[in-house]
Amino acid sequence: MLFYKKVMLIMALAGIIRLIPGCCDCDESTVPFSFNKTDIVNLDNSGEWAVTTTTDTMKPGAVAFEVALFDSLGYFYAPEPSLNSIGFGQAKAMSCDCSIPFSANQYLTSIRITSLYALTPEIIAGSDVSGHFVARPTNNSSTGSLYSSLESICKQTKGKTYYDSGVESFGLFLRIPVENIRARFIIDIYLSDETILRDTTHMITIHNK
């Protein structure tokens, strides 16, 4: 009986030793995807922190949007690998959380923002207003509360690895107050493969109170 217990103990220890190194043996190979779809949501930038909102009303000095780029085929997630056998060879046996690395086939080269309505008497409808916006990453490259130039947002996407989300997202913040009752913008995203992704914001009503 004692011998049997010793054998069982040795087998249990061997199983644990086998399991521990396998449990977190994460696959570091990247999953490729392409940016071919955009989504724009409004941001409420009137408080201490910008938050997404469904309202189309903004204050003159708090016009902001969040832009997301992703693959329309859905390559922004990957399924959990199944267990190979009772030996747990695929490393997910004891809920070891391995981040899945994604790599985009393109990177951003520039962002152009065109105003469909006059912002001020000097900035007329149809003007390129890219220089009046600053940006801030909102995904896993977030810089906290620091704003970046549009050029910096583009540069950080070159050679970037995305973990558990093949989505590039960032906030766009207008630096000047809107002197009009409405605002709307066309956002063009230029990619390294010469693709241009275009999307248009909602019509924004400017509320002065």
Per-residue pLDDT tens digits for 17-43: 444 445 567 777 888 999 999 999 999
Question: Mean pLDDT lowest for which of 8-22, 86-100, 106-120, 125-139?
Answer: 8-22
Domains of the chain: 31-74+96-206 (2.60.40)
Beta strands 37-44 and 51-53 are: antiparallel
Phi, psi of 203 (to 5 degrees): -70, 125
pLDDT band at 201 (very low <50, low <70, confident <90, very high): very high
Mean pLDDT value of segment 101-106: 94
CA angle, 111 as apex, 105 and 116 as ends, to 5°? 135
The pLDDT, as a whole number, for residue 79 is 41
Structure tokens at 154: 């583009």
User: 130 with 113: CB under 8 angstroms?
Assistant: yes
Question: Mean pLDDT lowest for which of 29-38, 135-144, 153-162, 175-184?
Answer: 135-144
Alpha-carbon gap, residue 2 to 155, rounded angstroms = 66
Per-residue pLDDT tens digits for 50-95: 999 999 999 999 999 999 999 998 755 444 443 343 343 444 434 5
Alpha-carbon gap, residue 180 to 97, rounded angstroms = 50
Phi, psi of 91 (to 5 degrees): 75, 10
Alpha-carbon gap, residue 121 to 132, rounded angstroms = 15
Does 7 score more than 70 pLDDT?
A: no
Residue tagged 């152009």 (tokens) = 112
User: 96 with 110: CB under 8 angstroms?
Assistant: no
Structure tokens at 14: 């061997």
The pLDDT, as a whole number, for residue 98 is 76
Neighbouring residues of 89: CB distance < 8 A, sequence distance ≥ 6:
22, 83
92, amino acid identity: K
Question: Mean pLDDT lowest for which of 90-94, 145-149, 158-162?
Answer: 90-94
140, burial (CB in 10 Å: exposed 0-12, middle 13-18, buried 19+): middle
Residue tagged 């449990």 (tokens) = 23
The pLDDT, as a whole number, for residue 95 is 52
C-beta contacts of 15-23 below 8 A and 24+ residues apart: 18/87, 19/88, 19/93, 19/94, 22/88, 22/89, 22/91, 22/93, 23/88, 23/91, 23/92, 23/93, 23/94, 23/96
pTM over cut 0.95: no
